[in-house]
Amino acid sequence: MENVIKIDTKRERGFNWHTIIAVAIFHVIAVAAFFTFSWQNLLAAMILWWISGSLGIGLGYHRLLTHRGYKAPQWFERFLTLCGTLALQAGPLAWVTTHRMHHAYTDTEKDPHSPNNGFIWSHIGWICKGKAQLHEMEEHRRYSPDLLKDPFNEAIEKYYWSTSVVVGLALFAIGGWQMIVWGIFFRTVVGWHATWLVNSATHMWGSRRFETRDTSTNNPLVAAITFGEGWHNNHHAHPRSAKHGLRWFEVDFNWIQIYLLEKAGLLKDVYRFDLDERKNEAVPLKKAA
């Protein structure tokens, strides 16, 4: 792939001040949630966390748009994409392009959030400095041409934040600014760090079932707060599989939803990797050669 795709991923653009300021503001406002608790606010945050983090990022951006682990009607794919925009982790083109680059160049200098540059970099530093998810259209054409076949993705890319504005107005009408603090700011910050831990923690701590050519691990704590995305070594070994938790104790809530939607007839051509019981012993973490 490196002989064909020659995208410059060096971090030469300096600090991304718009991103840094926005992330800082969200963190500061999120602190107000600790002084404005109510069960109603908590419920709003939990529901939106599931919609954005599970339906949006897990089922939508990741397992469907990035890896095409299953097929869905166009209207449902667009619905999941809109759910993904609520996570405020970029539009579908930028998110998918970044993640496909991660899989193509895992643990190398071309990896957008390589753990070789340390925990802070792979967790949050990569969005604060350099190209991060500021891709050019040429990169989208090379890494995500399938997404460009649907004009909806390009249309929502620039204004992905607009869905959060609409939801924020609805929350204000229901529960005032305190519900906005919980349902938008606090929930978004929690969702950010949960997703970023997949980039950082699951490439540093955990167990390895498969001897992949990277440092990916299965981390149950990260899996618990990402609806199943923390079974990362399983995922890197079989990226297209819509099922990440391969043993009964590897709870994968995102997979459970995909399975139920398939049984309901909404999804089809669901690809799942079935683990051979004779080859499922975890092995110690080894750094990639």
Question: Residue 209: pLDDT above 80?
Answer: yes
* C-alpha of 64 from chain center: 11
∠ CA 211-230-139, nearest 5°, is: 80
Q: What percent of the chain is modeled with pLDDT above 90?
A: 84
Question: Residue 2: pLDDT above 50?
Answer: no
Give bridge partners of residue 129 from the DSSP assignment.
15
**pLDDT of res. 288:** 41
Question: Residue 77: pLDDT above 90?
Answer: yes
The 3-state secondary structure of 34-74, one letter per residue:
HHCCCHHHHHHHHHHHHHHHHHHHHHHHHHHHHCCCCECCH
**pLDDT of res. 279:** 52
Distance set, CA 143 to CA 95, 101, 102 (Å)? 11, 8, 11
Average pLDDT over residues 238-257: 97
Q: pLDDT tens across 93-110, in order?
A: 999 999 999 999 999 989
Rounded Cα distance between 233 and 231, Å, is: 6
**pLDDT of res. 42:** 98
**pLDDT of res. 138:** 86
Confidence grade of residue 7 (pLDDT, cut at 50, 70, 90): very low
Structure tokens at 233: 């070594």
Distance set, CA 166 to CA 82, 86, 169, 200 (Å)? 12, 10, 5, 31
Q: Range with the lowest mean pLDDT among 140-149, 163-172, 257-266? A: 140-149
Q: Single out the residue of 94, 137, 93 nearest to residue 112, CA to CA.
A: 94
**pLDDT of res. 179:** 98
Q: Single out the residue of 14, 49, 16, 12 nearest to residue 133, CA to CA.
A: 16
Quick check: 35 and 172 in contact, CB under 8 A?
no
The secondary structure of residue 15, as a DSSP letter, is: B
**Phi/psi at 231 (5° precision):** -85, 65
Mean pLDDT of the chain: 91
Does residue 256 or residue 279 have the better pLDDT?
256
Indicate if the alpha-carbon torsion angle 177, 32, 123, 251 is positive or negative.
Answer: negative
Element (H, E) at 221: helix 220-225
Average pLDDT over residues 43-48: 98
Average pLDDT over residues 47-67: 98
Q: Single out the residue of 50, 35, 23 nearest to residue 177, CA to CA.
A: 35
Rounded Cα distance between 102 and 161, Å, is: 24
Q: pLDDT tens across 9-39, in order?
A: 444 558 899 999 999 999 999 999 999 999 9
Q: pLDDT tens across 269-283, in order?
A: 999 998 864 454 444
Indicate if the alpha-carbon torsion angle 125, 250, 105, 241 is positive or negative.
Answer: negative
Question: Residue 286: pLDDT above 50?
Answer: no
Average pLDDT over residues 74-79: 98
Question: Residue 5: pLDDT above 60?
Answer: no
Average pLDDT over residues 243-269: 97
